[in-house]
Structure 1
Amino acid sequence: MKKYAIIAFVILFSLAGCKKETATQTTKTEMPASDSNDTSVESASAGVANNTIMEAMKSMMDRMHQMQKKGNIDYDLAMNMKEHHKGAIDMATAELNSGTDEKLKAMAGKMKEAQQKEITSLDKMISKFNGQTSNYDPSKTDNGLGKAIMDNMQEMMRLPEATGTVDKDFATMMIKHHKDGIKMGEHILQYSKSAEFKTMTMKMIADQKKEIEDLEKWLSANQ
Protein backbone atom coordinates (compact mmCIF):
# COMPACT_ATOMS: atom_id res chain seq x y z
CA MET A 1 0.00 0.00 0.00
CA LYS A 2 2.82 2.33 0.84
CA LYS A 3 4.30 1.65 -2.62
CA TYR A 4 1.02 2.55 -4.34
CA ALA A 5 0.68 5.73 -2.29
CA ILE A 6 4.10 6.95 -3.48
CA ILE A 7 3.21 6.25 -7.12
CA ALA A 8 -0.07 8.17 -6.79
CA PHE A 9 1.76 11.14 -5.25
CA VAL A 10 4.27 11.25 -8.16
CA ILE A 11 1.42 11.19 -10.71
CA LEU A 12 -0.46 14.01 -8.98
CA PHE A 13 2.73 16.11 -8.74
CA SER A 14 3.41 15.66 -12.47
CA LEU A 15 -0.13 16.65 -13.41
CA ALA A 16 0.08 19.78 -11.28
CA GLY A 17 3.30 20.79 -13.05
CA CYS A 18 1.72 20.32 -16.47
CA LYS A 19 -1.28 22.48 -15.52
CA LYS A 20 1.00 25.23 -14.24
CA GLU A 21 3.04 25.22 -17.50
CA THR A 22 -0.12 25.27 -19.64
CA ALA A 23 -1.50 28.22 -17.67
CA THR A 24 1.76 30.09 -18.15
CA GLN A 25 1.70 29.46 -21.92
CA THR A 26 -1.94 30.55 -22.14
CA THR A 27 -1.15 33.78 -20.32
CA LYS A 28 1.67 34.57 -22.74
CA THR A 29 -0.51 33.89 -25.77
CA GLU A 30 -3.30 36.13 -24.53
CA MET A 31 -1.10 39.12 -23.75
CA PRO A 32 -2.18 42.24 -25.71
CA ALA A 33 0.10 43.67 -28.41
CA SER A 34 2.63 46.18 -27.13
CA ASP A 35 2.98 49.81 -28.19
CA SER A 36 6.10 48.87 -30.17
CA ASN A 37 3.93 46.74 -32.46
CA ASP A 38 1.64 49.73 -33.04
CA THR A 39 4.70 51.78 -34.03
CA SER A 40 5.69 49.09 -36.52
CA VAL A 41 2.26 49.29 -38.12
CA GLU A 42 2.52 53.08 -38.40
CA SER A 43 6.00 52.75 -39.94
CA ALA A 44 4.67 50.25 -42.45
CA SER A 45 1.84 52.61 -43.38
CA ALA A 46 4.32 55.44 -43.90
CA GLY A 47 6.42 53.14 -46.08
CA VAL A 48 3.43 52.35 -48.27
CA ALA A 49 2.73 56.06 -48.74
CA ASN A 50 6.39 56.72 -49.59
CA ASN A 51 6.25 53.91 -52.13
CA THR A 52 3.07 55.42 -53.58
CA ILE A 53 4.83 58.73 -54.21
CA MET A 54 7.85 57.03 -55.78
CA GLU A 55 5.66 54.72 -57.84
CA ALA A 56 3.68 57.70 -59.14
CA MET A 57 6.90 59.13 -60.60
CA LYS A 58 7.98 55.80 -62.06
CA SER A 59 4.56 55.04 -63.54
CA MET A 60 4.47 58.49 -65.12
CA MET A 61 7.87 57.93 -66.75
CA ASP A 62 6.85 54.47 -67.96
CA ARG A 63 3.73 55.88 -69.63
CA MET A 64 5.70 58.67 -71.27
CA HIS A 65 8.41 56.28 -72.43
CA GLN A 66 5.92 53.81 -73.92
CA MET A 67 3.83 56.49 -75.62
CA GLN A 68 3.73 56.15 -79.38
CA LYS A 69 4.84 59.42 -80.98
CA LYS A 70 2.81 60.51 -84.03
CA GLY A 71 5.41 62.87 -85.44
CA ASN A 72 3.35 66.02 -84.94
CA ILE A 73 5.16 68.47 -82.64
CA ASP A 74 2.16 69.88 -80.81
CA TYR A 75 0.32 66.58 -80.44
CA ASP A 76 3.34 64.71 -79.06
CA LEU A 77 4.34 67.52 -76.68
CA ALA A 78 0.78 67.94 -75.41
CA MET A 79 0.43 64.19 -74.79
CA ASN A 80 3.75 64.18 -72.92
CA MET A 81 2.68 67.12 -70.79
CA LYS A 82 -0.67 65.50 -70.01
CA GLU A 83 1.04 62.35 -68.69
CA HIS A 84 3.46 64.50 -66.70
CA HIS A 85 0.54 66.33 -65.09
CA LYS A 86 -1.10 63.00 -64.19
CA GLY A 87 2.06 62.07 -62.29
CA ALA A 88 1.77 65.26 -60.23
CA ILE A 89 -1.88 64.51 -59.48
CA ASP A 90 -0.99 61.01 -58.25
CA MET A 91 1.70 62.37 -55.95
CA ALA A 92 -0.56 65.11 -54.62
CA THR A 93 -3.25 62.50 -53.93
CA ALA A 94 -0.74 60.41 -51.93
CA GLU A 95 0.18 63.48 -49.86
CA LEU A 96 -3.47 64.35 -49.23
CA ASN A 97 -4.21 60.78 -48.14
CA SER A 98 -1.13 60.11 -46.00
CA GLY A 99 0.68 63.39 -45.30
CA THR A 100 0.67 64.96 -41.83
CA ASP A 101 1.67 68.58 -42.44
CA GLU A 102 -1.45 70.67 -43.01
CA LYS A 103 0.38 73.46 -44.85
CA LEU A 104 1.94 70.98 -47.27
CA LYS A 105 -1.39 69.18 -47.76
CA ALA A 106 -3.01 72.51 -48.62
CA MET A 107 -0.29 73.08 -51.24
CA ALA A 108 -0.87 69.57 -52.61
CA GLY A 109 -4.60 70.28 -52.93
CA LYS A 110 -3.97 73.46 -54.93
CA MET A 111 -1.43 71.70 -57.16
CA LYS A 112 -3.85 68.86 -57.85
CA GLU A 113 -6.62 71.27 -58.78
CA ALA A 114 -4.35 73.31 -61.07
CA GLN A 115 -2.96 70.22 -62.83
CA GLN A 116 -6.48 68.84 -63.39
CA LYS A 117 -7.60 72.13 -64.97
CA GLU A 118 -4.58 72.14 -67.25
CA ILE A 119 -5.28 68.55 -68.30
CA THR A 120 -8.78 69.66 -69.33
CA SER A 121 -7.21 72.41 -71.49
CA LEU A 122 -4.64 69.97 -72.88
CA ASP A 123 -7.37 67.48 -73.83
CA LYS A 124 -9.10 70.16 -75.93
CA MET A 125 -5.83 71.02 -77.67
CA ILE A 126 -4.97 67.35 -78.21
CA SER A 127 -8.28 66.92 -80.02
CA LYS A 128 -7.29 69.79 -82.35
CA PHE A 129 -3.74 68.52 -82.86
CA ASN A 130 -4.78 64.90 -83.52
CA GLY A 131 -4.60 64.07 -87.19
CA GLN A 132 -2.47 67.08 -88.12
CA THR A 133 0.39 66.69 -90.57
CA SER A 134 3.62 65.11 -89.36
CA ASN A 135 6.31 67.77 -89.03
CA TYR A 136 9.24 66.01 -87.34
CA ASP A 137 10.77 62.52 -87.08
CA PRO A 138 10.49 61.23 -83.48
CA SER A 139 12.90 58.37 -84.23
CA LYS A 140 15.78 60.80 -84.75
CA THR A 141 17.14 61.54 -81.29
CA ASP A 142 20.47 63.04 -82.31
CA ASN A 143 19.11 66.54 -82.91
CA GLY A 144 16.04 68.76 -82.77
CA LEU A 145 12.89 67.91 -80.82
CA GLY A 146 13.62 64.16 -80.80
CA LYS A 147 16.85 64.79 -78.90
CA ALA A 148 15.18 67.29 -76.58
CA ILE A 149 12.49 64.77 -75.61
CA MET A 150 15.06 62.01 -75.13
CA ASP A 151 17.33 64.18 -72.97
CA ASN A 152 14.35 65.23 -70.86
CA MET A 153 13.34 61.59 -70.30
CA GLN A 154 16.86 60.65 -69.24
CA GLU A 155 16.91 63.53 -66.75
CA MET A 156 13.54 62.43 -65.33
CA MET A 157 15.00 59.02 -64.52
CA ARG A 158 17.50 60.59 -62.10
CA LEU A 159 15.22 60.41 -59.08
CA PRO A 160 16.24 61.63 -55.61
CA GLU A 161 16.35 59.03 -52.84
CA ALA A 162 13.37 58.60 -50.54
CA THR A 163 13.72 60.50 -47.25
CA GLY A 164 11.59 58.18 -45.13
CA THR A 165 8.68 60.51 -44.43
CA VAL A 166 5.62 61.12 -46.60
CA ASP A 167 5.73 64.92 -46.39
CA LYS A 168 9.42 65.27 -47.22
CA ASP A 169 9.20 62.72 -50.02
CA PHE A 170 6.29 64.60 -51.54
CA ALA A 171 8.10 67.97 -51.35
CA THR A 172 11.35 66.51 -52.73
CA MET A 173 9.71 64.56 -55.55
CA MET A 174 7.41 67.42 -56.55
CA ILE A 175 10.35 69.82 -56.80
CA LYS A 176 12.03 67.31 -59.13
CA HIS A 177 8.77 66.82 -61.05
CA HIS A 178 8.26 70.57 -61.55
CA LYS A 179 11.84 71.18 -62.67
CA ASP A 180 11.46 68.48 -65.32
CA GLY A 181 8.08 69.98 -66.28
CA ILE A 182 9.63 73.43 -66.71
CA LYS A 183 12.23 71.91 -69.04
CA MET A 184 9.40 70.35 -71.04
CA GLY A 185 7.72 73.75 -71.11
CA GLU A 186 10.85 75.33 -72.55
CA HIS A 187 10.77 72.75 -75.35
CA ILE A 188 7.14 73.66 -76.04
CA LEU A 189 8.03 77.36 -76.25
CA GLN A 190 10.87 76.52 -78.64
CA TYR A 191 9.18 74.00 -80.94
CA SER A 192 5.38 74.39 -80.70
CA LYS A 193 3.43 75.82 -83.62
CA SER A 194 0.41 76.69 -81.46
CA ALA A 195 0.11 80.14 -79.87
CA GLU A 196 -2.57 78.81 -77.50
CA PHE A 197 -0.28 76.00 -76.33
CA LYS A 198 2.59 78.43 -75.76
CA THR A 199 0.41 80.83 -73.76
CA MET A 200 -0.77 78.04 -71.45
CA THR A 201 2.81 76.82 -71.08
CA MET A 202 4.15 80.23 -70.06
CA LYS A 203 1.59 80.39 -67.26
CA MET A 204 2.41 76.83 -66.20
CA ILE A 205 6.12 77.62 -66.00
CA ALA A 206 5.49 80.70 -63.87
CA ASP A 207 3.14 78.80 -61.55
CA GLN A 208 5.51 75.87 -61.09
CA LYS A 209 8.50 78.10 -60.40
CA LYS A 210 6.50 79.67 -57.56
CA GLU A 211 5.50 76.23 -56.27
CA ILE A 212 9.13 75.08 -56.33
CA GLU A 213 10.06 78.13 -54.26
CA ASP A 214 7.30 77.36 -51.73
CA LEU A 215 8.31 73.68 -51.50
CA GLU A 216 11.97 74.56 -50.99
CA LYS A 217 11.03 76.97 -48.20
CA TRP A 218 8.99 74.23 -46.55
CA LEU A 219 11.89 71.77 -46.78
CA SER A 220 14.31 74.33 -45.36
CA ALA A 221 11.99 74.93 -42.38
CA ASN A 222 11.43 71.21 -41.77
CA GLN A 223 14.92 69.73 -41.90
Structure 2
Amino acid sequence: MTAHKHALNRSFRRRLAIVGVVTAGGLLLAACGGDDMEGMDHGSGSSSSAASTQEAKDNPAPGAFNAADVAFAQGMIPHHEQALEMSRLADGRASDAEVKTLVAAIQKAQDPEIQTMKSWLKAWGKPESAEEMPGMHHGSEGADHSGMAGMMSGEDMKKLEAARGTEFDRMFAEMMIAHHKGAITMAEDEQKNGRNATAQQLAADVVKNQSAEVEKFEKILDRL
Protein backbone atom coordinates (compact mmCIF):
# COMPACT_ATOMS: atom_id res chain seq x y z
CA MET A 1 0.00 0.00 0.00
CA THR A 2 2.87 2.38 0.87
CA ALA A 3 4.75 1.52 -2.32
CA HIS A 4 1.59 2.18 -4.29
CA LYS A 5 1.23 5.61 -2.72
CA HIS A 6 4.85 6.46 -3.51
CA ALA A 7 4.28 5.49 -7.13
CA LEU A 8 1.21 7.70 -7.33
CA ASN A 9 3.11 10.64 -5.82
CA ARG A 10 5.95 10.24 -8.34
CA SER A 11 3.45 10.13 -11.19
CA PHE A 12 1.66 13.23 -9.89
CA ARG A 13 4.96 15.17 -9.56
CA ARG A 14 5.94 14.24 -13.13
CA ARG A 15 2.61 15.56 -14.43
CA LEU A 16 3.09 18.82 -12.51
CA ALA A 17 6.60 19.19 -13.96
CA ILE A 18 5.30 18.63 -17.51
CA VAL A 19 2.50 21.18 -17.02
CA GLY A 20 5.04 23.69 -15.66
CA VAL A 21 7.31 23.26 -18.68
CA VAL A 22 4.40 23.63 -21.12
CA THR A 23 3.10 26.71 -19.32
CA ALA A 24 6.53 28.35 -19.25
CA GLY A 25 7.00 27.57 -22.94
CA GLY A 26 3.63 29.10 -23.77
CA LEU A 27 4.48 32.28 -21.90
CA LEU A 28 7.84 32.50 -23.67
CA LEU A 29 6.21 32.09 -27.07
CA ALA A 30 3.62 34.72 -26.23
CA ALA A 31 6.35 37.12 -25.17
CA CYS A 32 8.33 36.49 -28.36
CA GLY A 33 5.20 36.90 -30.43
CA GLY A 34 4.50 40.27 -28.79
CA ASP A 35 8.01 41.51 -29.60
CA ASP A 36 7.67 40.48 -33.25
CA MET A 37 4.38 42.39 -33.67
CA GLU A 38 5.88 45.45 -32.09
CA GLY A 39 8.82 45.25 -34.45
CA MET A 40 6.47 45.00 -37.43
CA ASP A 41 4.52 47.99 -36.26
CA HIS A 42 7.67 50.05 -35.88
CA GLY A 43 8.91 48.94 -39.27
CA SER A 44 5.65 49.92 -40.91
CA GLY A 45 5.67 53.32 -39.22
CA SER A 46 9.25 53.97 -40.30
CA SER A 47 8.45 53.10 -43.91
CA SER A 48 5.42 55.40 -43.87
CA SER A 49 7.44 58.21 -42.31
CA ALA A 50 10.23 57.77 -44.87
CA ALA A 51 7.71 57.84 -47.73
CA SER A 52 6.16 61.03 -46.36
CA THR A 53 9.59 62.66 -46.02
CA GLN A 54 10.49 61.70 -49.59
CA GLU A 55 7.17 63.06 -50.85
CA ALA A 56 7.83 66.38 -49.09
CA LYS A 57 11.26 66.56 -50.75
CA ASP A 58 9.85 65.77 -54.19
CA ASN A 59 6.94 68.23 -53.86
CA PRO A 60 7.92 71.83 -53.00
CA ALA A 61 4.27 72.60 -52.14
CA PRO A 62 2.95 69.41 -50.52
CA GLY A 63 -0.66 68.92 -49.54
CA ALA A 64 -3.94 69.78 -51.20
CA PHE A 65 -4.22 72.68 -53.66
CA ASN A 66 -7.08 74.26 -55.60
CA ALA A 67 -7.73 76.46 -58.63
CA ALA A 68 -7.00 79.62 -56.63
CA ASP A 69 -3.50 78.33 -55.76
CA VAL A 70 -2.80 77.56 -59.42
CA ALA A 71 -4.14 80.96 -60.57
CA PHE A 72 -2.02 82.72 -57.94
CA ALA A 73 1.19 81.10 -59.18
CA GLN A 74 0.33 81.50 -62.87
CA GLY A 75 -0.51 85.18 -62.37
CA MET A 76 2.28 86.11 -59.99
CA ILE A 77 5.04 84.70 -62.20
CA PRO A 78 4.57 87.24 -65.04
CA HIS A 79 3.81 89.94 -62.46
CA HIS A 80 7.16 89.34 -60.77
CA GLU A 81 8.88 89.08 -64.15
CA GLN A 82 7.72 92.57 -65.07
CA ALA A 83 8.94 93.92 -61.72
CA LEU A 84 12.37 92.45 -62.54
CA GLU A 85 12.22 94.00 -66.02
CA MET A 86 11.45 97.41 -64.47
CA SER A 87 14.27 96.94 -61.96
CA ARG A 88 16.80 96.14 -64.68
CA LEU A 89 15.98 99.46 -66.34
CA ALA A 90 17.26 101.23 -63.21
CA ASP A 91 20.83 100.31 -64.15
CA GLY A 92 22.36 103.51 -65.58
CA ARG A 93 19.08 105.44 -65.21
CA ALA A 94 18.31 105.68 -61.47
CA SER A 95 20.10 108.37 -59.49
CA ASP A 96 18.55 108.14 -56.02
CA ALA A 97 20.45 105.92 -53.56
CA GLU A 98 17.29 104.67 -51.84
CA VAL A 99 15.69 103.79 -55.16
CA LYS A 100 18.78 101.77 -56.03
CA THR A 101 18.58 99.96 -52.67
CA LEU A 102 14.94 99.06 -53.29
CA VAL A 103 15.77 97.89 -56.80
CA ALA A 104 18.32 95.44 -55.34
CA ALA A 105 15.78 94.23 -52.75
CA ILE A 106 13.15 93.59 -55.44
CA GLN A 107 15.61 91.59 -57.55
CA LYS A 108 16.80 89.59 -54.54
CA ALA A 109 13.27 88.63 -53.45
CA GLN A 110 11.30 88.20 -56.64
CA ASP A 111 13.61 86.14 -58.83
CA PRO A 112 13.76 83.24 -56.32
CA GLU A 113 9.99 83.48 -55.82
CA ILE A 114 9.46 83.05 -59.56
CA GLN A 115 11.53 79.84 -59.51
CA THR A 116 9.64 78.64 -56.42
CA MET A 117 6.22 79.15 -58.04
CA LYS A 118 7.36 77.45 -61.24
CA SER A 119 8.40 74.43 -59.16
CA TRP A 120 4.92 74.33 -57.56
CA LEU A 121 3.18 74.27 -60.92
CA LYS A 122 5.48 71.53 -62.17
CA ALA A 123 4.76 69.43 -59.06
CA TRP A 124 1.02 70.06 -59.46
CA GLY A 125 1.11 69.08 -63.14
CA LYS A 126 -0.05 72.54 -64.26
CA PRO A 127 1.41 74.84 -66.96
CA GLU A 128 3.33 77.96 -66.00
CA SER A 129 0.85 80.18 -67.82
CA ALA A 130 -2.94 80.12 -67.83
CA GLU A 131 -2.65 80.73 -71.58
CA GLU A 132 -1.32 77.17 -71.91
CA MET A 133 -4.37 75.62 -70.23
CA PRO A 134 -6.44 73.33 -72.49
CA GLY A 135 -9.24 75.22 -74.20
CA MET A 136 -7.55 78.62 -73.78
CA HIS A 137 -6.98 80.84 -76.81
CA HIS A 138 -3.34 81.05 -77.84
CA GLY A 139 -2.49 84.44 -79.27
CA SER A 140 0.11 84.66 -82.00
CA GLU A 141 2.08 87.34 -80.15
CA GLY A 142 2.09 85.66 -76.73
CA ALA A 143 0.11 86.40 -73.62
CA ASP A 144 -0.95 89.97 -72.82
CA HIS A 145 -0.88 90.56 -69.07
CA SER A 146 -1.54 94.32 -69.17
CA GLY A 147 -5.04 93.77 -67.79
CA MET A 148 -3.66 92.14 -64.63
CA ALA A 149 -3.74 94.17 -61.41
CA GLY A 150 -0.83 96.63 -61.29
CA MET A 151 0.77 95.54 -64.57
CA MET A 152 2.34 98.23 -66.75
CA SER A 153 1.45 98.54 -70.42
CA GLY A 154 4.03 98.43 -73.18
CA GLU A 155 3.74 102.22 -73.47
CA ASP A 156 4.44 102.62 -69.75
CA MET A 157 7.59 100.53 -70.06
CA LYS A 158 8.80 102.61 -73.01
CA LYS A 159 8.35 105.82 -70.99
CA LEU A 160 10.29 104.37 -68.07
CA GLU A 161 13.07 103.23 -70.39
CA ALA A 162 13.37 106.75 -71.86
CA ALA A 163 13.61 108.48 -68.46
CA ARG A 164 16.86 109.38 -66.68
CA GLY A 165 17.94 110.66 -63.28
CA THR A 166 15.30 112.16 -60.99
CA GLU A 167 12.65 111.73 -63.68
CA PHE A 168 13.36 108.00 -63.75
CA ASP A 169 13.39 107.78 -59.93
CA ARG A 170 10.00 109.46 -59.68
CA MET A 171 8.46 107.44 -62.49
CA PHE A 172 9.91 104.18 -61.18
CA ALA A 173 8.54 104.84 -57.68
CA GLU A 174 5.07 105.71 -59.01
CA MET A 175 4.94 102.64 -61.25
CA MET A 176 6.31 100.30 -58.61
CA ILE A 177 3.74 101.49 -56.06
CA ALA A 178 0.95 100.62 -58.49
CA HIS A 179 2.68 97.37 -59.40
CA HIS A 180 3.16 96.31 -55.78
CA LYS A 181 -0.43 97.16 -54.89
CA GLY A 182 -1.56 94.87 -57.70
CA ALA A 183 0.59 92.06 -56.33
CA ILE A 184 -0.77 92.66 -52.82
CA THR A 185 -4.34 92.37 -54.14
CA MET A 186 -3.48 89.06 -55.83
CA ALA A 187 -1.78 87.76 -52.68
CA GLU A 188 -4.72 88.73 -50.48
CA ASP A 189 -7.02 86.84 -52.83
CA GLU A 190 -4.81 83.78 -52.44
CA GLN A 191 -4.95 84.13 -48.66
CA LYS A 192 -8.75 84.16 -48.81
CA ASN A 193 -9.40 81.54 -51.49
CA GLY A 194 -6.30 79.34 -51.72
CA ARG A 195 -5.92 75.99 -50.03
CA ASN A 196 -2.24 75.10 -50.20
CA ALA A 197 -0.34 76.08 -47.05
CA THR A 198 2.95 76.76 -48.88
CA ALA A 199 1.28 79.03 -51.44
CA GLN A 200 -0.58 80.89 -48.71
CA GLN A 201 2.66 81.46 -46.81
CA LEU A 202 4.31 82.99 -49.87
CA ALA A 203 1.21 85.16 -50.35
CA ALA A 204 1.56 86.38 -46.76
CA ASP A 205 5.23 87.23 -47.44
CA VAL A 206 4.25 89.19 -50.56
CA VAL A 207 1.67 91.22 -48.61
CA LYS A 208 4.11 91.96 -45.79
CA ASN A 209 7.22 92.75 -47.85
CA GLN A 210 5.62 94.65 -50.69
CA SER A 211 3.44 96.72 -48.35
CA ALA A 212 6.63 97.82 -46.58
CA GLU A 213 8.22 98.71 -49.94
CA VAL A 214 5.16 100.72 -50.98
CA GLU A 215 5.58 102.85 -47.85
CA LYS A 216 9.26 103.44 -48.69
CA PHE A 217 8.47 104.42 -52.29
CA GLU A 218 5.80 106.83 -51.07
CA LYS A 219 8.34 108.51 -48.78
CA ILE A 220 10.76 108.78 -51.70
CA LEU A 221 8.10 110.50 -53.79
CA ASP A 222 7.44 112.97 -50.97
CA ARG A 223 11.03 114.21 -51.09
CA LEU A 224 11.74 114.07 -54.83
C-alpha distance 131-121 of structure 1, shift in aligned 2 (>3 A): closer
Letter in structure 1 aligned against 2:77: K
- Residues 1:92 and 2:94 are matched in the alignment: no
Residue 182 of structure 1, CA deviation: 0.4
Question: Once the two structures are superposed, what CA deviation does each residue of 1:61-105 show, in whole Å capped at 9, x if it has no partner?
Answer: xxxxxxxxxx93322320110110001000111113321112211
Q: Which moved more, 1:172-181 or 1:102-111?
A: 102-111
C-alpha distance 155-211 of structure 1, shift in aligned 2 (>3 A): closer
Q: What is the DSSP-based 3-state SS (H/G/I as helix, E as strand, rest coil) of the residue aligned with 1:153?
A: coil
- Indicate the residue corresponding to 1:173 in structure 2: 175
Residue 156 of structure 1, CA deviation: 4.7
- Indicate the residue corresponding to 2:207 in structure 1: 205
Letter in structure 1 aligned against 2:220: W
C-alpha distance 169-118 of structure 1, shift in aligned 2 (>3 A): same
Letter in structure 2 aligned against 1:205: V
Letter in structure 1 aligned against 2:76: M
**Structure 1 unaligned blocks of 5 or more:** 1-70, 133-138, 140-149
- Indicate the residue corresponding to 2:121 in structure 1: 126
What is the CA–CA distance in structure 1 between the aligned matches of 2:209 and 2:89, rounded to whole Å? 21
C-alpha distance 124-96 of structure 1, shift in aligned 2 (>3 A): same
Question: Once the two structures are superposed, what CA deviation does each residue of 1:150-205 show, in whole Å capped at 9, x if it has no partner?
Answer: 9x737757998969611111100000000000000111112212110001110111
Q: What is the DSSP-based 3-state SS (H/G/I as helix, E as strand, rest coil) of the residue aligned with 1:97?
A: coil
**Structure 2 unaligned blocks of 5 or more:** 1-65, 128-134, 136-144
Letter in structure 2 aligned against 1:171: A
Q: Which moved more, 1:104-113 or 1:168-177?
A: 104-113
- Indicate the residue corresponding to 2:99 in structure 1: 104
C-alpha distance 106-84 of structure 1, shift in aligned 2 (>3 A): same
Scaled by the length of structure 2, what TM-score is found? 0.53
- Indicate the residue corresponding to 1:187 in structure 2: 189
Deviation above 3 Å: which 4+ runs of structure 1?
A: 154-164
Letter in structure 2 aligned against 1:213: E
Scaled by the length of structure 1, what TM-score is found? 0.54
What is the CA–CA distance in structure 2 between the aligned matches of 1:205 and 1:72, rounded to whole Å? 20
Q: Which has the larger radius of gyration?
A: 2
Residue 211 of structure 1, CA deviation: 0.2
The size of the alignment, in residue pairs, is 137
What is the CA–CA distance in structure 2 between the aligned matches of 1:123 and 1:180, rounded to whole Å? 20
Question: Once the two structures are superposed, what CA deviation does each residue of 1:94-146 show, in whole Å capped at 9, x if it has no partner?
Answer: 113321112211210111111112112112211122249xxxxxx9xxxxxxx
What is the CA–CA distance in structure 2 between the aligned matches of 1:160 and 1:190, rounded to whole Å? 31
Q: Provide the aligned C-alpha RMSD in A.
A: 3.1
- Indicate the residue corresponding to 1:75 in structure 2: 70
Identity within the alignment, %: 26
C-alpha distance 114-76 of structure 1, shift in aligned 2 (>3 A): same
C-alpha distance 122-97 of structure 1, shift in aligned 2 (>3 A): farther
What are the within-5 Å matches in structure 2 for residues 1-223 of structure 1?
Answer: 72-131=67-126, 153=148, 156=151, 165-222=167-224
